[in-house]
Amino acid sequence: MKALFFEAFQAPVRVTELPDPEPTADGVVIQVAAAGLCRSDWHGWMGHDSDVHLPHVPGHEFAGTIAALGKNVKNWQIGDRVTLPFSMGCGSCPQCRTGNQQICDDYYQPGFTGMGCFAEYVAVPYAEQNLVRLPDKLGFNAAAVLGCRFITAYRGIAVQGRLQGGDWVAVHACGGVGLSAIQIAKALGGRVVAVDIATDKLELAKKLGADRVLNASEIDQIPEAIREITGGGAQVSVDALGSTVTCINSIACLAKRGRHIQIGLMTGTHRTPAVPMGPVIAKELEIIGSHGMQAHAYPGMLQLITSGRINPKALLGQSISLEEAAAALMKMDDHDALGVTVIDRFR
């Protein structure tokens, strides 16, 4: 099979021929129809994630059809259209037994703990616990958006953020996570302030339902601007990027008893930001992480999609080939494309 491949961190990524994978006893092989190009893949290539071992095939967000079954897989068939969460639960650890497969003690992540989906085929274990059947009306490209950014935003807003109708939601950064959060917050009855430094991203945020947009390159005090718009602060605020500035702005813009949701990965010099604990105490704020979503929680999100209340297809940006993805992955830190870039041509 053809796959993107690198043998050292920050070394050139290239397309190469690798052996077709075989399924584990509890796993399947999926023929990849579409794969999302995510900033997390760039972090893996840079060497920011200790789960990545060399040599490596990146990619963790995808949809496709089952091409081969492990001997212990009973509830799936070759040809089934599927996707899956990027963090796959083992099904037997204490976290999985309480329904929290997204923080499994023995998790498997394609593109991180194992070979990823930037390839014609990808093998994944734990199939019974993690595969999600795709609705017929949901195409592969749109489905590829779900497995990381969309599900993380959905759980972050709906579950961790406990959004109520009428709540103000501040979304800091309008990449894939941020744009997903805007759609989801609006579908659940929220009012949204979107923040970014790129005019084109803010325009897309408005099209997806943001009530107000703020250009952080033109406004010195984003938290103050949000508090003014919302009449005292947002009830829920999301750092969808993972930088010291967006994290602190997200906390500082909250109303009393507001909830900060950290979705963007904090790496490098941003790994340990100085959290303003004074306001956290005085305002009884909540600081909450959100890491993916369990396969068993997909039905609620899929119902919103099939009913037309949210539309992951609206997040799609460029559609590229596997060859083009090699260059796109290496450029992600200095060229952030509008919308979600999807690889859908593998030959």
**Side-chain-side CA neighbours of residue 263 (13 Å):** 34
AA identity, residue 136: D
Q: What is the pLDDT of residue 272?
A: 82
Question: Residues of the chain with pLDDT > 70: what percent?
Answer: 99
Question: What is the model's pLDDT at position 164?
Answer: 96
The CA-atom distances, in angstroms, between 269 and each of 244, 266, 274, 282 are 8, 8, 11, 28
- Say what the pLDDT of residue 24 is: 97
pLDDT at position 266 over 90: no
pTM for this prediction:
0.92
Q: 245: helix, coil or strand?
A: helix
Q: pLDDT digits over 246-263, tens only?
A: 999 999 999 999 999 999
**Two tokens, residue 347:** 């030959």
Bridge-partner residues for 68, per DSSP?
A: 29
- Residues 7-29: what's their mean pLDDT? 97
Q: How confident is the model at residue 336 (pLDDT cuts 50, 70, 90)?
A: low
Provide the mean pLDDT of the chain: 95
Instruction: Using the structure block, give the residue that is written with the tokens 């008893």.
Output: 257
pLDDT confidence of residue 33: 98
The pLDDT of residue 136 is: 93
- Quickly name the fold that domain 2-134+311-345 has: Quinone Oxidoreductase; Chain A, domain 1 (3.90.180)
Span 221-231, pLDDT tens digits: 999 999 999 99
CATH class of domain segment(s) 149-289: alpha beta
Please say if the pLDDT value at position 95 is more than 70. yes
When pLDDT is cut at 50, 70 and 90, the band that residue 310 belongs to is: very high
Q: Is the pLDDT of residue 335 over 70?
A: no
The percent of residues in the chain predicted with pLDDT above 90, rounded, is 88
Residue 109 pLDDT greater than 90, yes or no: yes
Q: How confident is the model at residue 153 (pLDDT cuts 50, 70, 90)?
A: very high
Pairing of strands 62-69, 234-239: unpaired
Within 10 angstroms of residue 229's Cβ, the number of other Cβ atoms is 18
121-151 core/surface letters (b: 16 or more CB in 10 A; e: else): bbbbbbbbbbbbebeeebbbbbbbbbbbbbb
Tell me the pairing of strands 121-124 and 28-37. antiparallel
The model's pLDDT over 44-84, given as tens digits with 9 standing for 90+, comes to: 999 989 999 999 999 999 999 999 999 999 999 999 999 99
Give the whole-angstrom CA distance, residue 35 versus residue 119. Answer: 9
pLDDT for residue 199 is more than 70? yes
The amino acid at residue 141 is N
For the chain, the structural domain boundaries read 2-134+311-345, 149-289
Distance CA(62)–CA(146), nearest Å, equals: 8
Contacts of 224 (CB under 8 A, 6+ apart): none
Question: Does pLDDT of 337 surpass 80?
Answer: no
Q: pLDDT at residue 19 above 90?
A: yes
Residue 267's pLDDT is: 74
pLDDT of residue 334: 74
DSSP 8-state secondary structure symbol assigned to residue 37: E
Taking alpha carbons only, the member of 125, 48, 51, 23 closest to residue 333 is 48
- Strands 340-345 and 28-37, how do they pair? antiparallel
Summarize pLDDT for 122-152 with one digit per residue, the tens. Answer: 999 999 999 999 999 999 999 998 988 899 9
pLDDT at position 160 is 97
Q: Which of 188, 150, 104 has its CA nearest to residue 313?
A: 150
21 prior amide bond cis, ω within 30: no
Cβ(251)–Cβ(260) below 8 Å = yes
CA distance linking residue 148 with residue 332, whole number of Å? 17
User: What is the tens place of the pLDDT at every residue in 282-293?
Assistant: 999 999 999 999
